[in-house]
Chains A and B, each alone.
Chain A
Amino acid sequence: MARINVTNLYKTIENKGLVNNANLRVNNGEICAVIGPNGAGKTSLIKCILGLLKQDVGDILINEQEMTAITRNDLLKEIGTVLQFPVMIGRLTVEQVFVEHFHYYGVKTTGVMQELLRKVELPVSMNSLAKNLSLGMKQRLLLCLALAHKPNILILDEPFNGLDVDGIRLMKDILKDFAEMGNSVLITSHSLNELQDIATNVVFMKNGTTTHNQKMEEIVRDFEGGLLQYYEEAKTLTSEEVGRR
């Protein structure tokens, strides 16, 4: 079953083509990595999938349902996100962050907060101000929030930012476990080594155009230097060549 299925997606803002014929499919149990240089359109693609941007042309299916057929709130219930760290969280204590965030998803807080903090190995006091946490700790906190309502899709934009070695290992383990339970992960990152360890599929994006899904095992088999070499070679392609690949 395809959890996310994007076909022939186009999005233009102020005459600038942010997404130009993007295609993407993430099935049950898959971790799909979207890679590409800065300005390739990765974040715009994620925003379209989250319903924050409206595509000009193309279809987005979430859990095999047309996005237009799902209410925004139902869509957001299916998905956990780790996007940029919101300032609003920074002014609250860790407990307040949990309580307020859980409220909107109808998650019971009793016992859950400590369990989630243990899961992401974040040993902080509930009274700590979130703004005083390090960047890596904030990323872990965001991961807690993303997992709290038990979504079946995780969408993460640069989740390894600020994480130390242990944090990266933990993040990878959690994502792998999440996918092994039949869920799906869509992840963008410039940390190619980390992606090579966990991603099952890769989509390269340039000037808003995507390649077709490539199996990670095929990339590792066909490119001696692994994902890094694949990336370096894909970077030299024109947008048309990327679209055909």
Chain B
Amino acid sequence: MVNPISKQLVGLIRWSLLRHKHLLVVFSFTQIVLSLAIVYGLALMLPNLDGESTIYLSSGSITLGIIAVGCVLSGQIVNTAKLEGIIYYQKTLPVYRLNIILADIIIWGFASIPGIFMSSIAAIFRFRLNIDVSFQSLLVIVLVQISMICIGFAIAYWFSANTVALVTQIIMIGGLLFSPILYPTDRLPNWTKIIYENLPFVPASKLIRSTLFNNGSVSIREVIVVSIWGIVTLLLSLIALSRRE
């Protein structure tokens, strides 16, 4: 008899942990370095840091950490699993496809916590900022995590191996340099607004800034944009896992 759904999910989480236990240590270290590099390293490049810049760097560090784990690392790991036949193997098991995705969302959600934690600590020590840990800010963090991880999964499930590497790198470089995550939007040409406002990355950073750093108010539009990206890419991942060619 097949286990109930929740027991099955626990099993998949345990299996995923067994497979990724070594990688999780490396990823935690990478995120800590990335957080420190943004908060301390990038700050060195900006001689006159005002209050707004410090908030952008700190919230950007958290957002980029979540993007790095969700869209880039988890996407690449799922891509490897696809190449190694692990996804094919999972398809031959009597497990619900949604559970396979949920188990990985939970694992990668936890995997991005060290980066969030270290970025917050760095922001407190480096810039003396107050972090508002509230139900709302935690909810936003979870929403952003789920959305970014689902984007990473959808990229991995739907693109070829080489394209996955390219797309995830573009997301990371674009996130670091060409999207107003680490700096205010008025530094970019106006025509780019339509792009970054409808992609999930800048709305995610705005949500984190407005809740965790109390900078501005929470915009429903941003919640909707991030949620829609999360839902659509979750459905795309589910279709990819469930479809029979």
Q: Which residues of A contact B (CB under 8 A)?
A: 13, 50-54, 72-74, 76-77, 81, 83-84, 86-89, 91-92, 96, 100-101, 103-106
For the complex, give the distance between the alpha carbons of A39 and B1 in Å: 36
The answer to the question of B228 belonging to the interface, with a C-beta cut-off of 8 Å to chain A, is no
The residues of B that contact A73 with a CB separation of less than 8 Å are 2, 94-96
Residue of A nearest to B22 (CB): A91
For the complex, give the distance between the alpha carbons of A89 and B14 in Å: 14
A160 to chain B, nearest CB (A): 20
The residues of B that contact A52 with a CB separation of less than 8 Å are 88, 91-92, 244-245
Q: Is the CB of A104 within 8 A of B95?
A: yes
For the complex, give the distance between the alpha carbons of A96 and B81 in Å: 18
Q: Is the CB of B92 within 8 A of A104?
A: no
The residues of A that contact B93 with a CB separation of less than 8 Å are 76, 101, 104
* A-contact 0/1 string along B56-67, CB 8 Å cutoff: 000000000000
A76 to chain B, nearest CB (A): 4
The residues of B that contact A104 with a CB separation of less than 8 Å are 2-3, 8, 11, 93-95
The residues of B that contact A72 with a CB separation of less than 8 Å are 94
The residues of A that contact B14 with a CB separation of less than 8 Å are 100
For the complex, give the distance between the alpha carbons of A92 and B20 in Å: 11
Q: Is the CB of B85 within 8 A of A84?
A: yes
Residue of B nearest to A51 (CB): B244
For the complex, give the distance between the alpha carbons of A244 and B1 in Å: 42
For the complex, give the distance between the alpha carbons of A53 and B244 in Å: 5
Q: List 10 A-B contacts (CB under 8 A).
A: A13-B245, A50-B92, A51-B244, A52-B91, A72-B94, A76-B94, A86-B88, A88-B15, A100-B18, A103-B11
B92 to chain A, nearest CB (A): 6
B12 to chain A, nearest CB (A): 8
The answer to the question of B89 belonging to the interface, with a C-beta cut-off of 8 Å to chain A, is yes
Q: Is the CB of B2 within 8 A of A100?
A: no
B242 to chain A, nearest CB (A): 8
Q: Is the CB of A106 within 8 A of B245?
A: no
The residues of B that contact A53 with a CB separation of less than 8 Å are 244-245
For the complex, give the distance between the alpha carbons of A77 and B96 in Å: 13
The residues of B that contact A50 with a CB separation of less than 8 Å are 92
B245 to chain A, nearest CB (A): 5
17 more A-B contacts (CB under 8 A) besides A13-B245, A88-B81, A88-B84? A50-B92, A53-B244, A53-B245, A73-B2, A74-B94, A81-B92, A83-B92, A84-B85, A86-B85, A88-B15, A88-B89, A92-B18, A100-B11, A100-B14, A103-B7, A104-B11, A105-B94
Q: Which 8 A-B pairs have the closest CB atoms?
A: A54-B244, A86-B89, A103-B11, A73-B94, A87-B84, A76-B94, A106-B1, A88-B86
The answer to the question of B187 belonging to the interface, with a C-beta cut-off of 8 Å to chain A, is no
Residue of A nearest to B91 (CB): A52
The answer to the question of B19 belonging to the interface, with a C-beta cut-off of 8 Å to chain A, is yes
B113 to chain A, nearest CB (A): 24
A151 to chain B, nearest CB (A): 11
Quick one: which of B7, B18, B86, B88 has the most chain A CB within 10 A? Answer: B18
The residues of A that contact B244 with a CB separation of less than 8 Å are 51-54
Q: Given A13-B245, A100-B15: A76 and B92 within 8 A (CB)?
A: yes
The residues of A that contact B85 with a CB separation of less than 8 Å are 84, 86-87
For the complex, give the distance between the alpha carbons of A190 and B21 in Å: 39
The residues of B that contact A106 with a CB separation of less than 8 Å are 1-3
For the complex, give the distance between the alpha carbons of A52 and B242 in Å: 9
* A-contact 0/1 string along B74-93, CB 8 Å cutoff: 00000001001110111111
For the complex, give the distance between the alpha carbons of A72 and B93 in Å: 9
Q: Is the CB of B245 within 8 A of A54?
A: yes
For the complex, give the distance between the alpha carbons of A92 and B86 in Å: 13
The residues of B that contact A74 with a CB separation of less than 8 Å are 94
For the complex, give the distance between the alpha carbons of A96 and B8 in Å: 15
For the complex, give the distance between the alpha carbons of A74 and B2 in Å: 8
A197 to chain B, nearest CB (A): 27
The residues of A that contact B18 with a CB separation of less than 8 Å are 91-92, 96, 100
The residues of B that contact A101 with a CB separation of less than 8 Å are 93
**CB within 8 Å of A: which of B108-167?**
none
Residue of B nearest to A92 (CB): B18
Residue of A nearest to B244 (CB): A54
A241 to chain B, nearest CB (A): 29
The residues of A that contact B81 with a CB separation of less than 8 Å are 88
Residue of B nearest to A73 (CB): B94
B141 to chain A, nearest CB (A): 30
